[in-house]
Amino acid sequence: MSSEAQHVALSLQDHLPVLQVLIPFLAGPLIVLLGSRTLAWPVAFIASFAAFVCSGLLLSQVMNGGFISYHIGGWAPPLGIEYRVDAANALVLLLISGISTVVLPFAKPSVADEIPQRHHTLFYATFMLCLTGLLGVVITGDAFNVFVFLEISSLSTYVLVAKGASKDRRALSAAYDYLIMGTIGATFFVIGLGLLYMATGTLNMADMADRIAALGTNRTVQAGFAFIIIGMGLKAAMFPLHHWLPNAYNYAPSAVTAFLAATATKAAIYVMLRFMFSVFQPDFVLDMGATWIIGLLAVIAMFVASFIAVFQNNFKRMLAYSSIAQIGYMLLGISMFNLNGLTATMVHLFNHGITKAALFMAVGALVLRTGTTFYDRIAGMGRVMPFTGAAVVVGGLSLIGVPGTAGFISKWVLVQAAFDNGWWWMALAIMASSLLAVIYVWRIVEALYLHAPNPEAEHQEAPLMMLGPIWIMAGACVWFGFDTELTLGTARTAAEALLAGSAGMAEIPTAAMH
């Protein structure tokens, strides 16, 4: 290889953090400029796959500890905007870009069935903007940049949810409710940032952490903390701020629901973790008593949302309430405030993402053949769609937390965290709430297999372009139930760094800093 080629390769490696966001960001307007329905999907898929490669390369550099600091435009923080990558956000970047890359092939036949053809170009452009926003939220080290990318992802999400109106007009009201609640959440978040900026005079999160630590007890900082946690709690669908989620998931197009359920709330949970442990520091969070409040709401969500899910007769809506309960497990891990608790949060964030992607894509396949997600209309479809039905079973087992699935790993580490704190009763609560998951998963298995197939449905398996992505995710649910080196190993590294606060990590040198 020539010295010039080596220099190019080195430069690309150095600029991975910004390429992670820039590639899908440019793909969105490019799709609109091309104006071709034929080229819209290939451009979106290539951009998403490139972002996935970037996230994989970034994770390989930080999964054993340390972080990468990338200075936008060569301006050093805190004056310039910084992209900072460590084990915590690298794992979330891998999840978001990976889910996007798998969902897009599934989306091609699904979108063709559920969305009018004249909207396809703008659909894929909006999808790219949503991906850009979620990746930007996770990778940026600038607090105000979090808000900017949050708005990019949110505004595009409202449009994507509304695209379900061609199938059901209630998608418009669901998107409107999501817009109102999302705007309230974003407003709370930006008010919190304003209070922190007033107290510290900086927006760089690492610099902000140092200044907050130097301030000691400060009412302005405490108020900022409360606004930020409530704002992000709403975005994460933390109980009882979750009312936007069931309708948004239920009425959005199947491909949109699969992508959002696996990524959007996970990005919000990550932002909560980043602010609680890297900006405000662990001691500050304990002094505020936030862990007890979050823990109480988490336990309520685990039981109440699971109980509601049991009585649903709509597959999509059942999975939506299940997501609220599973978010409760993630928040419970945060409230445990120990290494295993934070590890459980990080690993469940990933494992729940792949599980819900598999299940919601399977729902999309059922919609293609039956036109609906109600139990009585999809009855018996497991018999005529054996591969789709089997994927539902695998995803359901992971949702319950059966050994040999990714969901088991998450809940096992969470139970360990409960015992670490001497909370044996909490370990029992985790297992009891999982039994509720057995009930609502069994109800869908019963509908798919123990009834005669609906005579009005199309008795044909889903196309290969849908089955491939469904089984990639279903296979991942099993794979990561046995091979935990990537997920559990990276999650533990991330948890150690988060508990150490802003200190405790060495920077990985990169030429992009110069």
Q: Which domain holds residue 303?
A: 290-482
Token match 């599973």: residue? 326
CA angle at 220 for the pair 219 and 223, rounded to the nearest 5°: 85
452 within domain boundaries: yes
Q: Which among 323, 330, 367, 322 has a CA at the least distance from the CA of 347?
A: 330
- What is d(CA 412, CA 427) in angstroms, rounded to the nearest whole number? 9
CA angle at 510 for the pair 508 and 514, rounded to the nearest 5°: 130
Record the pTM: 0.90
443 within domain boundaries: yes
pLDDT tens per residue, range 113-136: 888 888 888 999 999 999 999 999
295 within domain boundaries: yes
471 within domain boundaries: yes
**Within 10 A of 176 (CB to CB), how many other CB atoms are there?**
15
pLDDT(100) > 80: yes
501: pLDDT confidence band, cut at 50, 70 and 90? low
Q: Which among 302, 303, 300, 229 has a CA at the least distance from the CA of 268?
A: 229
18: pLDDT confidence band, cut at 50, 70 and 90? confident
Cβ atoms of 399 and 433 within 8 Å: the answer is no
Tell me how many domains the chain contains: 1
Length of the chain: 514
Q: Is the Cα torsion angle 356, 60, 22, 471 positive or negative in sign?
A: negative
Cβ atoms of 513 and 70 within 8 Å: the answer is yes
Q: Which among 252, 37, 23, 26 has a CA at the least distance from the CA of 124?
A: 37
421 within domain boundaries: yes
508: pLDDT confidence band, cut at 50, 70 and 90? low
185 within domain boundaries: no
pLDDT tens per residue, range 328-355: 999 998 888 888 889 999 999 999 999 9
Q: Is 69 left (phi over 0), alpha (psi -120 to 50) or beta?
A: beta
pLDDT(442) > 70: yes
359 within domain boundaries: yes
303 within domain boundaries: yes
Question: Which residue type sits at 267?
Answer: A
- What is d(CA 347, CA 371) in angstroms, rounded to the nearest whole number? 34
